[in-house]
C-alpha cells in the first residue's frame, strides 16, 4: 500500500508545525494586524470626528429643558434675501440655527464681523440674476476665516438646505399645490432587466467586486504561504537526510500526502484561530463603530452608507450553507493543487538554500493566477461576472482556487457553472496527483543538480 | 530467514552505479559491503531497501520480495539525518510509530536504547544542540528501536571516538548474539574483520571480490612476511629472492610467493646467528586484500 502511514506523517508534521515559533509568531502578527484594522475602522472615524454641536433646548417660556446635538455646526446665519421669493427661514429654529435678516447696506459690516468671528456664524446672500428665460438664483455663503470654527463642508450642508427651500418656494410661488408639488418631486426608480432578472446596480457591482478581490487576496496569501511551507518541510526532510530514515517505514507517496494534508490542517487551524478571534473582535467592537453602520448592525443616517449596507446585506443574505461548503472545498482543492506542486519542487532540490530559487517559477504562476482572479471584477463590471477573463479565471486551475470563491459568494456564478468549475479543478488535481505519484519516489532521494520538468516527464513516460 | 540479492543493477542516466550485484545471507551475522568511496555501496543499500528503483534483479527476504515498509528493518544511513529543530524524544516516538509500534512499547524501547547508549540526558534537546557523535547515537537508537530482524548499518563507526566506537561495537555484537541479520558497510577494515564472515568488495559498481572472508584469506595463503632483527637482514632476503615492500618501526615487510620462501629466509637468519625480534608469516589482512583489489583503479575516488 503506497500510502500506508500517511496519517502518522500528517499528525507529526501538524503538531510540530503548530508548535513552532514561526507559526505562532505569524498567527500573532496576523491577528494583531486584523484586530488593529477592525478597531481602526471602527474607532478612528469617531476619534478623528469633529466634536458634536450641542445646543440648549428651551420650552416656549424660555426655560432650559435640556440639551441635544444639533444637525448643523452653524449656530447663526445672517440672511440677505434678494430672491424676490420672500423665502421663509423660520424652519431654521427647529434646526437650532438662529437667523437674522440683514439689509444690503449691512452686508459689508456683517461680512467683516463674520470673517473675523470666533463663533459658528455665517452670512448668506440669496440673489436673483439674469432676465427673461435666463433667470438664475445664487446662494453665497461667507464663513469665518478660522477653520476651527466652521469648515466649508458645514456651509455646503446648509447651502443644500437653502437650495431645497429655494426650489420648493419657486414652485409654490407659481401657484402649484402641495399635492402637485409631491407629484413633481416623486422619485423615479429605474432598473435594467436581463431574462427576467434585475441587473446589478453600480453599488451592488462594486460590493460584488470588493468581495471577489478580498477573497482572492486572502486565498492567495493563505494558499501560497502554506504551499511554500509544504515545500520547505519536504526540502528540510530531504536536505537533513531524515527522508532516508522515513523511507524504511513509509513510501514516498505517504510522506508527501501526509505533509500536504498536515499543511492544509495547519492552514485551517490558522484560519480558525485568527479568523475566529477577528470575528469576535468585530462582533464586540462593531456595535460601537463605523463597521457596525456599514454592516447594518447599527443604524446610520448617512444615505450612502445605508445603500452600501443594504447591498452588503443583500450579498451576504445570498450566502447559504452550500456556498460556504463550496468555498471550503475550493480552498482545499486549491491548496492541495498548489501544495503538491510545491512539495514536488521541494523534492527536486538537495540543499535547502536552493528552495527559493526553485520556487520562483511557481511563484510567477501563482501570482499570474492571482492577478487573473483579482482583475476579473474589472473586466466583468456590468457583465454580471460573465466576461471572458472571468470565465478563464474560473476554469484555469492556477487561478480558479482564487477566483471561484469570490464569484460564488458574490453571486456572479450560477450553481451549475460553479459545480462544473469545481469539478474541473478536482479533475486537474487528480491528474496532477497521478503525475506526482509517478515521479516522487524517483526524485525524493536524488542528490545533485535540481531535477527539471522535462526529466520528470521522462520519468512518467518510463514508469 | 534469509536475504537474497540476485543480479541487481542500478543505472543513473548512462552510468551503472551497481552492476550485477548478487549475494545471499542465509544465516544470522554480519555481512560486509565494502568498496571505495563512490563504489556503489550506498546505492546498493538503497536499492536493497527499495528506496531506489532498480533496472533489473531481485531482492528477497524469506523468499518473498523485500518490502522494507512491511518488514522489521532498521537502517543507519551513511548521511545521518534528524530534524534539526525538533525535540529528540518526539522524533524518536515518531520514528517508532512509523514502524507500527504503539506509544507504550515505543516508550519502553526508547528508554532501553537511550540508557544503553548513554543519551538519556538529551531527550528534551533539539538535534542541532547535540554533537555529531551524540546525533549518531540517537540515530542508531532509531534504527534499533523496533527490534529489527534485518539491520543495515552504513558506515556505523565513522566519526566516533574510541569509547563510543567500542560502545557501538558491543551493540553490534549483541545484535549478532540475538541472531540478527546485519549488512554493514565500512571503511574500517579491522572492524569488518572483527565481525564479518562474508564480504562483497565493490569497485565502480562492479563486484570485484566476494565470499567467506576466511576462505578468501586462505586462498591467498600465508604470504605476508614481517621481520624485525637487530641486524640488517636485507642481504639475506635478497638471497632468497625477496624484495621489501615497506620499512616500519615494527620491521620490514615482504610479500612472498609461497610459505617456503619465508621459511628459507628464517633458516638463513638462524644460520647467520642474527638475533630475531619478530618473524611473522601470515595471511593478508582484509585491508591488504581491499587495496589489492581496488587500489590500482586510478579512477576510484
Residues A179 and A210 in one domain: no
Q: Name the phi and psi angles at B229, rounded to 5.
A: -140, 170
Which of A139-144's residues contact partners 24+ apart within 8 Å by CB, and which partners? Answer: A139/A163, A139/A166, A142/A111, A142/A114, A142/A115, A143/A114, A144/A114, A144/A115, A144/A116, A144/A117, A144/A118, A144/A119, A144/A120
Residues A320 and A365 in one domain: yes
What would the grid cell of residue A261 be?
A: 494534508
What's the confidence (pLDDT) of residue A392?
A: 87
Residues A364 and A285 in one domain: yes
Count of structural domains, chain A: 2
Q: Which of A160, A185, A210 is the last residue of a domain?
A: A185
Buried b (16+ CB within 10 A) or exposed e, B11-25: beeeebbbbebebeb
Chain B CB contacts of A244 under 8 Å are 46, 51, 75, 77, 79, 81
The answer to whether A5 faces chain B, any CB pair under 8 Å, is yes
Q: How long a stretch of residues is chain A?
A: 463
Residue A241 above 50 pLDDT? yes
CA angle B281, B287, B290 (to 5 degrees): 115
Residues A134 and A29 in one domain: no
- Residue A194 within any structural domain of the chain: no
Residues A242 and A141 in one domain: no
For cell 520556487, what's the residue? A359
- Residue A443 within any structural domain of the chain: yes
- Residue A376 within any structural domain of the chain: yes
Judge contact between A158 and A120, C-beta under 8 A. Answer: no
| 3-state secondary structure string across B30-79 | EEEEEECCCCCHHHHHHHHCCCCCCCEEEEEECCEECCHHHCCEEEECCC
Judge contact between A430 and A241, C-beta under 8 A. Answer: no
Contact (CB<8Å) A250/B51 = no
Q: CA A319 to CA A405: how far, in whole Å?
A: 11
- Cross-strand partners of B15: B12
pLDDT tens profile A287-297: 777 777 777 77
How close, in Å, is residue A362 to chain B by CA atoms?
A: 26
Please state the rounded mean pLDDT for residues A430-443: 82
Q: CA A236 to CA B176: how far, in whole Å?
A: 35
Domains of chain B: 3-217 (3.40.50.300), 222-282 (3.30.70)
Residue A376 above 80 pLDDT? no
Instruction: Give the rounded percent of residues in chain A with a pLDDT score beyond 90.
Output: 28
Q: CA B288 to CA A329: how far, in whole Å?
A: 66
Residue A41 above 90 pLDDT? no
Rg of the Cα trace of chain B?
Answer: 23
Residues A209 and A305 in one domain: yes
Residues A168 and A208 in one domain: no
CA angle A316, A320, A324 (to 5 degrees): 95
Contact (CB<8Å) B79/A16 = no
Task: For chain A, positions 239-298, list CB contacts with chain B under 8 A.
Answer: 240-251
Nearest CA in chain B to A12: B94
Nearest CA in chain A to B82: A242
Q: Which of A122, A157, A185 is the last residue of a domain?
A: A185
Contact (CB<8Å) A249/B95 = yes
| Selection from A215, A288, A214 nearest residue A38 by Cα | A288
Q: CA A255 to CA A263: how far, in whole Å?
A: 12
What would the grid cell of residue B248 be?
A: 616500519
| Selection from B43, B94, B49, B104 nearest residue B74 by Cα | B49
Contact (CB<8Å) B81/A250 = no
pLDDT tens profile A442-452: 777 776 677 77
Q: How confident is the model at residue A1 (pLDDT cuts 50, 70, 90)?
A: low
Judge contact between A253 and A4, C-beta under 8 A. Answer: no
- Residue A66 within any structural domain of the chain: no
What does the DSSP assignment read for A308-337?
HHHHHHHHHHT--HHHHHHHHHHHHHHHHH
Residue A345 above 80 pLDDT? yes
What is the ipTM score, two decimals?
A: 0.82
| Selection from B131, B41, B114, B110 nearest residue B77 by Cα | B41
Residues A169 and A221 in one domain: no
Chain B contacts to A (CB-CB under 8 A): 46, 49, 51-53, 68-69, 73-75, 77, 79-86, 90, 94-95, 97-100, 139, 142-143
Residues A14 and A89 in one domain: no
Chain B CB contacts of A16 under 8 Å are 83, 86, 90
Contact (CB<8Å) B69/A8 = no
Chain B CB contacts of A237 under 8 Å are 81, 83
- Residue A89 within any structural domain of the chain: yes
Start-end of H helices in A174-201: 178-185
Residues A286 and A369 in one domain: yes
Instruction: Measure CA A103 to chain center.
Output: 53
More confident residue, A435 or A384: A435
Chain A CB contacts of B98 under 8 Å are 5, 8-9, 246, 249-250
Weakly modelled stretches of chain B, pLDDT under 70? 296-301
- For testing the chain B interface, which of A19, A245, A251, A462 should be mutated: the one with the most B CBs within 10 Å? A245
How close, in Å, is residue A331 to chain B by CA atoms?
A: 29
Residue A211: give the domain boundaries: 6-37+202-462
What would the grid cell of residue A360 be?
A: 520562483
Q: How confident is the model at residue A379 (pLDDT cuts 50, 70, 90)?
A: low
Q: Which of A141, A156, A185 is the last residue of a domain?
A: A185
Residues A173 and A219 in one domain: no
Residue A64 above 70 pLDDT? yes
**Cα separations (Å) of B8 from B21, B55, B58?**
5, 7, 6
A320 Rama class: left (phi>0) / alpha (psi -120 to 50) / beta? beta
For cell 531524515, what's the residue? A242
Judge contact between A175 and A181, C-beta under 8 A. Answer: no
Judge contact between A123 and A112, C-beta under 8 A. Answer: no
- For testing the chain A interface, which of B49, B66, B98 should be mutated: the one with the most A CBs within 10 Å? B98
Residues A427 and A281 in one domain: yes
What's the confidence (pLDDT) of residue A48?
A: 73
N-to-C CA span, chain B: 36
Contact (CB<8Å) B81/A249 = no
- Residue A112 within any structural domain of the chain: yes
Helix axes A6-19, B88-98, angle to 10 degrees: 170
How close, in Å, is residue B157 to chain A by CA atoms?
A: 18
- For testing the chain A interface, which of B51, B70, B106, B151 should be mutated: the one with the most A CBs within 10 Å? B51
What would the grid cell of residue B97 be?
A: 510509530
pLDDT tens profile A155-166: 999 999 999 999
- Residue A63 within any structural domain of the chain: no
The answer to whether A9 faces chain B, any CB pair under 8 Å, is yes
The answer to whether A205 faces chain B, any CB pair under 8 Å, is no
Q: Which residues contact A166 (CB under 8 A, 6 or more apart)?
A: A83, A85, A87, A126, A137, A139
Q: Which residues contact A72 (CB under 8 A, 6 or more apart)?
A: A53, A95, A96, A97, A154, A157, A158
Judge contact between B183 and B74, C-beta under 8 A. Answer: no
The answer to whether A406 faces chain B, any CB pair under 8 Å, is no
- Residue A289 within any structural domain of the chain: yes
- For testing the chain B interface, which of A232, A242, A445 should be mutated: the one with the most B CBs within 10 Å? A242
How close, in Å, is residue A458 to chain B by CA atoms?
A: 12
Q: CA A320 to CA A338: how far, in whole Å?
A: 27
| Selection from B166, B174, B186, B173 nearest residue B76 by Cα | B186
| 3-state secondary structure string across B190-238 | HHHHHHEEEEEEEECCEEEEEEEHHHHHHHHCCCEEEEEECCCCHHHHH
Residue A15 above 50 pLDDT? yes
Amino acid at each position: 500500500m503506497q500510502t500506508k502511514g500517511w496519517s502518522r506523517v500528517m499528525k507529526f508534521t501538524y503538531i510540530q508545525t503548530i508548535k513552532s515559533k514561526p507559526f505562532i509568531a505569524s498567527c500573532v502578527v496576523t491577528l494583531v494586524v486584523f484586530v488593529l484594522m477592525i478597531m481602526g475602522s471602527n474607532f478612528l472615524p469617531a476619534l478623528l470626528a469633529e466634536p458634536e454641536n450641542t445646543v440648549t433646548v428651551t420650552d416656549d417660556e424660555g426655560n432650559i429643558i435640556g440639551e441635544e446635538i444639533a444637525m448643523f455646526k452653524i449656530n447663526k446665519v445672517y440672511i440677505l434675501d434678494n430672491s424676490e421669493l420672500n423665502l421663509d427661514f423660520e424652519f431654521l429654529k427647529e434646526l437650532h440655527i438662529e437667523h437674522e435678516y440683514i439689509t444690503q447696506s449691512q452686508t459689508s459690516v456683517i461680512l467683516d464681523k463674520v470673517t473675523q468671528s470666533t463663533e459658528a456664524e455665517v452670512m448668506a446672500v440669496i440673489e436673483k440674476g439674469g432676465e427673461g428665460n435666463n433667470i438664475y438664483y445664487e446662494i453665497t455663503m461667507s464663513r469665518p476665516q478660522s477653520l476651527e470654527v466652521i469648515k466649508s463642508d458645514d456651509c455646503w450642508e446648509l447651502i443644500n438646505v437653502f437650495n431645497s427651500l429655494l426650489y420648493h418656494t419657486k414652485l409654490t410661488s407659481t401657484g402649484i399645490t402641495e399635492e402637485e408639488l409631491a407629484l413633481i418631486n416623486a422619485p423615479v426608480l429605474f432598473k435594467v432587466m436581463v431574462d427576467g432578472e434585475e441587473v446589478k446596480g453600480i453599488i451592488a457591482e462594486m460590493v460584488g467586486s470588493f468581495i471577489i478581490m478580498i477573497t482572492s487576496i486572502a486565498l492567495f496569501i493563505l494558499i501560497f504561504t502554506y504551499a511554500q511551507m509544504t515545500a520547505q518541510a519536504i526540502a528540510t526532510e530531504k536536505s537533513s537526510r531524515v527522508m532516508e530514515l522515513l523511507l524504511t517505514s513509509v513510501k514516498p507517496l505517504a510522506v508527501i500526502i501526509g505533509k500536504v494534508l498536515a499543511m492544509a490542517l495547519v492552514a485551517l487551524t490558522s484560519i480558525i484561530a485568527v479568523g475566529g478571534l477577528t470575528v469576535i473582535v468585530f462582533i464586540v467592537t462593531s456595535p460601537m463603530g463605523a463597521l457596525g453602520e456599514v454592516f447594518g448592525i447599527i443604524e446610520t443616517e448617512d444615505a450612502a452608507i445605508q445603500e452600501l449596507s443594504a447591498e452588503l446585506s443583500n450579498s451576504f443574505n445570498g450566502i447559504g450553507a452550500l456556498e460556504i461548503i463550496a468555498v471550503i472545498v475550493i480552498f482545499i482543492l486549491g491548496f492541495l493543487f498548489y501544495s503538491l506542486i510545491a512539495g514536488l519542487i521541494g523534492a527536486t532540490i538537495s540543499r535547502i538554500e536552493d528552495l527559493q530559487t526553485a520556487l520562483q517559477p511557481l511563484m510567477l504562476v501563482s501570482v499570474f493566477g492571482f492577478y487573473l482572479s483579482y482583475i476579473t471584477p474589472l473586466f466583468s463590471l456590468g457583465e454580471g461576472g460573465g466576461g471572458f477573463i472571468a470565465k478563464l479565471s474560473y476554469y484555469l486551475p492556477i487561478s480558479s482556487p482564487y477566483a471561484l470563491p469570490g464569484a460564488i459568494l458574490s453571486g456572479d456564478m450560477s450553481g451549475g457553472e460553479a459545480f462544473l468549475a469545481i469539478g474541473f479543478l478536482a479533475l486537474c488535481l487528480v491528474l496532477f496527483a497521478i503525475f506526482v505519484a509517478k515521479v516522487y519516489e524517483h526524485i525524493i532521494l536524488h542528490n545533485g543538480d535540481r531535477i527539471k520538468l522535462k526529466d520528470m516527464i521522462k520519468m512518467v513516460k518510463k514508469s | 530467514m534469509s536475504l537474497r540479492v540476485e543480479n541487481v543493477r542500478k543505472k543513473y542516466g548512462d552510468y551503472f552505479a551497481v552492476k550485477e550485484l548478487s549475494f545471499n545471507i542465509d544465516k544470522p551475522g554480519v555481512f560486509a559491503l565494502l568498496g571505495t568511496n563512490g563504489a556503489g555501496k550506498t546505492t546498493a543499500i538503497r536499492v536493497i531497501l527499495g528506496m531506489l528503483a532498480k533496472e533489473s534483479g531481485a531482492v528477497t527476504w524469506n523468499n518473498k520480495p523485500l518490502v522494507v515498509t512491511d518488514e522489521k528493518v532498521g537502517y543507519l544511513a551513511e548521511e545521518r539525518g534528524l530534524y534539526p529543530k525538533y525535540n529528540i524524544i518526539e522524533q524518536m516516538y515518531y520514528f517508532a510509530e512509523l514502524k507500527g509500534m504503539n506509544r507504550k512499547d515505543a516508550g519502553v524501547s526508547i528508554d532501553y536504547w537511550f540508557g544503553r547508549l548513554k543519551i538519556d540526558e538529551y531527550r528534551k534537546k533539539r538535534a542541532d544542540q547535540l554533537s555529531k557523535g551524540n546525533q549518531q547515537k540517537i540515530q542508531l537508537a532509531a534504527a534499533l528501536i523496533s527490534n529489527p530482524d534485518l539491520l543495515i548499518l552504513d558506515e556505523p563507526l565513522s566519526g566516533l571516538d574510541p569509547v563510543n566506537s567500542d560502545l557501538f561495537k558491543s551493540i553490534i555484537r549483541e545484535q549478532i548474539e540475538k541472531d540478527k541479520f546485519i549488512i554493514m558497510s565500512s571503511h574500517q577494515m579491522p572492524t569488518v574483520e572483527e565481525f564479518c564472515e562474508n564480504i562483497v568488495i565493490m569497485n565502480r559498481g562492479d563486484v570485484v571480490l566476494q565470499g567467506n572472508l576466511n576462505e578468501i584469506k586462505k586462498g591467498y595463503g600465508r604470504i605476508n612476511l614481517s621481520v624485525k632483527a637487530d641486524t640488517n637482514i636485507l642481504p639475506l632476503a635478497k638471497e632468497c629472492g625477496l624484495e621489501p615492500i615497506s620499512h616500519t618501526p615494527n620491521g620490514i615487510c615482504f610479500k612472498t610467493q609461497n610459505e617456503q620462501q619465508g621459511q628459507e629466509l628464517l633458516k638463513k637468519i638462524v644460520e647467520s646467528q642474527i638475533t630475531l625480534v619478530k618473524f611473522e608469516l601470515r595471511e593478508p589482512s582484509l585491508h591488504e586484500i581491499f587495496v589489492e583489489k581496488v587500489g590500482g583503479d586510478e579512477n576510484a575516488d
